[in-house]
Structure 1
Amino acid sequence: MKTLFGHLLPLAEDEIEAIWKEATLTVDANVLLDLYRYHPETRGALIQALRGFEGRLWLSHQAALEFVRNRARAAAAVAKELAEAVGDVNTLESALKKATDDLRGRRPLPREVGQKLKADVDAAIRSARASIEELRTRDANGASTDAVLDDVLALFDGCVGGPPAGDELADLHKDAERRIKEKVPPGYEDAKKDGGNVHGDYLVWHQVLQQAKSSAKPVILVTSERKEDWWERAQGKAVGPRLELLEEAHRVAGQRVLIYQTASFIERAVGPLHGWMAALVLDDIRPEDLEDVTAAAQIELDEIMNDSVGRLGDELIASDASLRRLVAETKVSGWRVHDVEVPSIERVDNAFAQLKFTAVAHYTSGPVEDPRVGPEIRVQLRGTIAFKNGAWAITEHEVENAEIVRTP
């Protein structure tokens, strides 16, 4: 049975690993255009994953053509979204100002409640504005050089497929129309697509199969497509490529074609760093079919950060005289770590990563569920945590503020 239908059955892990070591890697145009849309850290993770296939990268002529035609529009859309983000923050600020002003006017509440909330909200808004402005400045400064274009040109220099001949292209368009009418994947979902690229998905797929056939090597195709003419679905989630695609690859090319959505490709490509990378980038890419994986990775990252910051707290008590004085004054007994954030990745590859973090740690005698019972020490930290040689460690840190907070 496996002899007849093996190309339609799931691969064992060792079979997948063997294909990853041998296969040609290619992407569709939207994967490259998304580089403009992603946060810089997500963009860096994807570029790094693609570079891991240096010498085995190949780009179909159709995907390259679509990228060249649409890249300026994608870049302009980023600037528009960042400008709109400023408006979003202004709208939020107006709504929150009214709410915090109203709260401060509630006479049964201690005035400090409203004052603290307003101070926290103002600080969050300032931070959001600064982040947006940093991205707008980076985007404006990069507009003349187009770093995304430079990366794409460097990745696929000398490895773009040739265009189909005139007669061949006309025949391919006719075949694409037939497939649309017969609902043969991929591409029939684009039948009502605006513009002249109705047949783009099929042209990419055809060229990928021809590359697999001529090279006599398997292919890994990374796509941002999520439509039903690419993916089998069960209970609303993608469970794998359409079987018709696997059958056609076997029949036409005699080779395996592994198809990944962008997020699942990145997740596997950075596998030696375990699940934390998914938690940092999948939220940007937002694959619905990987929600469970994203949640598990986020839990893993939270545990790593909370454990690391908690251990750092113990070291701070031992080494910082001012904190020891606060402990003696409050007679509190243990760390409860909250609000750990990882806003940026400085560098990532398959063996090493550095992440910036900020954290709020409470030294308190209250329970985990309600740490703010009685007096506590509230410490604001920022620093860097590094993954190296299979372990995590905080490599640098700074105490921004430490204070006693007294609650009823």
Structure 2
Amino acid sequence: METTFSGFYTPSYEELRNVWNSETVLFVFDTNVLLNLYSYTKDTRKDFFKILEKLSEKIWLPYHVGLEYQRGRLNTVKNEKAVYRNIYKKVDHIKSVFQKDIEEMNLKRRSPGLFVKTKELESNIIQLLDSYNENVKEFDDKQPCVRASDEIRKKIDELFNNKVGPKPKNQKELDDIYRDGQIRFKNKIPPGYMDENEKKKRPDFGFENLNYTPMYGDLIIWKQIIEKAKEENIESIIFISDDVKEDWIFYIDSNGKKDIGVRAELRQEIQKESNIDIFEIYDTSKFMELGKENLNISITETSINEAKEKVEDKIKMNKTHFKFDFDNDFNKNINLYDYLTKIVSEKLFEKKSELENKISAVNNDLGMSMIKGHEEDEKYFIKELNTLQKDYEKVLKMINDLEG
């Protein structure tokens, strides 16, 4: 039974754990994994590359992954930089709308006292937004630029030197894949059919006298993986991909959508056409999590979580780092003060928590100095406490102004 329907049998936890230290395993990477590196923080990229360095003799790229990466790299860099430009633009928009609305209220004539308070609020909000822009700039400056030297690509080049598969032999090889793809897509045979509606709108492109149809990109990659799996020294393949659609992964609805693992059709096909025993798919976060566990590498949970968020919420990462849509909120005529509160309240409460911790620490230091009779220390800590208390009261006032 298992021999006939091997695709339906998932390897055990012990088998998958042993794979990491096997000499006959190959870790294969999808295009999206390489391109997603441009949206990660520097520390997350560093952690990801740590694992690849440890597995350096066991990693490989299908030729078509390399081609898609090279063609998509600059567009990805451009889109990531656009995120920051959009943030600057939206923050400036908030400032101008707020200032315009204050002027239209004509509070200086109607209520001079309220006008003074409102101007204080305006000043505080603009200070927070300016501070936020400085934080954004720090991240922006660390992102690659289309004209700058690409350190990410340099690292990828280094790691995958002589570890990229061969290009298609001729156009007939590709045309055969396209014909197979027509049948597979019609019958919902994985992989790639979930991309049909989106990618069929993309024009064909040529490279080195070969014609490529983007709609069949996943299928080309799949066929190249199968060819690689036929080599004698390979018994297991782990495919790292952030494409978690149902034409790669099997899902079942059981008290919510559950990820069961690789589609049985894929495992069955590669096992029948090659000699491998194990074929699994991990997204980047799972790959990093298991790399940390099985290779004894120091990988932070922050890095793993960032990769996980990339998979779970591509829309948020693609458009903006804010938690709501500026344009939609304005179009719905959201109340200005509620709107501003959404932006600044999180930062205000962070500051409030930070000051509370500092006040608590200084109080402890003051108590110890009083017990020990250190008068000079007492004076210093009392002065420090008064300063922190004033800052704390200012933050509380700003919170009350925004929520009141």
Change (3 A) 1:318 1:125: same
Mind listing any 5+ residue stretches in structure 2 that lack a counterpart?
Answer: 204-212, 315-352, 367-377
Q: Could you tell me how far apart the structure 2 residues matched to 1:278 and 1:169 are? A: 37
Which one of 237, 242, 245 corresponds to residue 224 of structure 1?
A: 242
Query: Are positions 1:250 and 2:271 aligned together?
Result: yes
User: Structure 1 25/114 Cα, relative in aligned 2: closer, same or farther at 3 Å?
Assistant: farther
The residue type equivalent to 1:12 in the other structure is S
Provide the C-alpha distance between the structure 2 equivalents of 1:137 and 1:287, rounded to a whole number of angstroms.
24
SS at match of 1:229: coil
Task: Give the secondary structure class of the aligned counterpart of 1:191.
Answer: helix
In terms of fraction of residues, the more strand-rich structure is 1
1:130 to 2:134 alignment: yes
The change in CA–CA distance for 1:150 and 1:2 in structure 2 (over 3 A counts) is same
Counterpart selection for 1:177 from 170, 176, 182: 182
Conserved in 1, the CA contact under 8 Å of 2:26 and 2:60?
Answer: yes
Per-residue CA deviation, residues 120-169 of structure 1 (Å, 9 max, x unaligned), is 43233112322333344444767331112212111211100112311433
1:281 deviates by 4.4
- Per the alignment, residue 20 of structure 1 pairs with 20
Shift of 1:245: 1.4
Q: For the aligned residues, what is the CA RMSD?
A: 4.1
Counterpart-to-counterpart distance in 2, 1:328 and 1:33 = 49
Aligned residues: 325
Structure 1 residue 260: deviation in Å?
Answer: 1.5
Aligned equivalents of 1:270, 1:121: Cα separation in 2: 42
Unaligned runs of at least 5 residues, structure 1: 289-306, 331-362, 364-375, 380-401
| 2:220 paired residue number | 203
CA contact (8 A) 1:267 1:277 kept: no
CA positional deviation for 1:17: 1.2
Distance across 1 between alignment mates of 2:235 and 2:292: 23
Aligned to 1:283: 309
Post-superposition shift, 1:221? 0.9
Equivalent AA in structure 1 for residue 17 of structure 2 = E
1:324 Cα offset (Å)? 4.3
* TM, length-normalised to structure 1: 0.65
Q: C-alpha distance in 2, partners of 1:104/1:49?
A: 61
Does structure 1 conserve the Cα–Cα contact (< 8 Å) formed by 2:40 and 2:306? no
Which residues in structure 2 correspond to 1:194-343 (within 5 Å)? 194-195=202-203, 196-214=213-231, 215-235=233-253, 237=257, 239=259, 240-253=261-274, 254-271=276-293, 275-287=301-313, 316-319=362-365, 321=378, 324-325=381-382
Output one character per residue of 1:205-247: Cα deviation in whole Å (capped at 9) or x when no partner: 1111222231323111111213221122234745122221122
Residue equivalent to 2:371: none
Deviates more, 1:135-144 or 1:20-29: 135-144
Greater helix fraction, Structure 1 or Structure 2: 2
Q: Deviations over 1:252-294 (max 9, x none)?
A: 2333121012233233334565744434443344358xxxxxx
Q: Which residue of 1 aligns with 2:332?
A: none
Q: Distance in 2 between matches of 1:145 and 1:95?
A: 38
Q: TM-score, normalised by structure 2?
A: 0.65
Q: CA deviation at 1:43?
A: 3.3
